[in-house]
Amino acid sequence: MRSSERPPSKEAELPYHAAGGTRPKEGRTRERPNDDAFLCDPARGLFAVADGVSGSENGHLAAQTAIESARTCAIPALRDRYVAEAWMQDAFEQAQRQILEDPSGDGRATTLAMTLLTPLTSSTHLLTIGHAGDSRVTLLKKGSYALEPLTIDHSPFLSTTAEEAVLVREMILHNPPFLNELAEYARRARISLENALYDIPSSPAMARELMRSISITTSSLAREGLSPFAQLYGAHQNYISSQLGMDKPEYLVQTHEIHQGDLVLLTTDGVHDGLTPDLTIRALLQSPTLDIAVQRLLQTSTAVDDRTAVVLRVD
């Protein structure tokens, strides 16, 4: 396991700390290397995880190319939301070009989740996120015990078509925990629960927002006996509709404000598919250091896959 790529002299001056690590799937060999790669660069406020698509030839090389591309990107000296988002879009386009132009072979693809941290005040930072695939960025706010997904996987089930919005409504109707989530959504939107259920099929955006707020993994659903949704989600979870290396991938770029004490987690599916939200929160909050938190996330996951995580905390 590799961990903690941090400059020894400058981090004490930074308003945040970070740690990252990766752990190959059991049985990996030199001929079949770890498909994951990561970047943890606090000095530049740049963090990323990539997961080479195992169904593609040379997926691990695509992940390494994406991370190396991010590592060599020049960071703009002055950053506001628009500059940071434009930079992130350019960074993804550069990684895409380098993957496609690599002469060593075709058939490579990778997910990529990347964040750029920009200090706004002594306690507030701008977090710019770029995302393609099913690697994720998740937020745990200071004082909160609920994970907030900041990305949504590029998969058919989590897209925004009206047909899939109908599936979301059926899933919610048959699972009380999700009905509770919808009730909270309806309260915030100041509409009745009945109206919210009625509106879902005609509002893919609502379905997408609901899926963003329901942060429960397939494995935890199965343990809780929620098999209808587990089967529905499981039928689609391994298909990625956008990834670097494919023709005309979709890059989602967004910004959020984060504050002192907040924790940001970047993971490949080998981590988040094998952890419940409760286990993830425990690893983040009960570990004495970020390095130990990363190690616990990698060791606790039950997913049979390469595992990679980066954790950063605003101090």
Which has the higher per-residue pLDDT, 196 or 38?
A: 38
Identify the residue with better confidence: 303 or 94.
Answer: 94
Asked if residue 226 and residue 178 are part of one domain, the reply reads yes
Q: How many domains does the chain have?
A: 2
Q: What is the CATH number of the domain that holds 11?
A: 3.60.40.10
Give yes or no: residues 272 and 230 share one domain.
no
pLDDT(208) > 70: no
Number of residues written out for the chain: 315
The answer on pLDDT for 161 being more than 60 is no
Q: Where among 216, 234, 252 does a domain terminate?
A: 234
Q: Could you tell me if 70 and 208 lie in one domain?
A: no
Query: Considering the chain, what is the average pLDDT of its residues?
Result: 78
Statement to judge: residues 268 and 218 lie in one domain: no
Which pLDDT belongs to residue 231?
A: 42
One domain, residues 22 and 40: yes
Which comes out higher in pLDDT, residue 184 or 265? 265
Facing residues of 314 across strands?
A: 16
Task: Mark which of 234, 253, 277 sits at the end of a domain.
Answer: 234
Do 245 and 206 fall into the same domain?
Answer: no
Domain boundary among 210, 234, 258: 234
Do 142 and 46 fall within a single domain?
yes
- Is residue 171 located within the same domain as residue 248? no
Considering the domain architecture, whether residues 117 and 54 belong to the same structural domain is answered as yes
pLDDT value, residue 154:
73
Please indicate, yes or no, whether residues 40 and 87 belong to a single structural domain of this protein: yes
Domain that holds residue 226: 157-234
Residues of the chain above pLDDT 70, percent: 67
pLDDT in tens, 230-256: 444 444 445 566 788 888 888 889 999
pLDDT for residue 9 is more than 60: no
Q: Do residues 213 and 254 both lie within one domain?
A: no
pLDDT of residue 121: 84
pLDDT in tens, 115-143: 999 888 888 999 999 999 889 999 999 99
Confidence (pLDDT) at 174: 66
- Do 137 and 162 lie in one domain? The reply is no
Amino acid present at 270: G
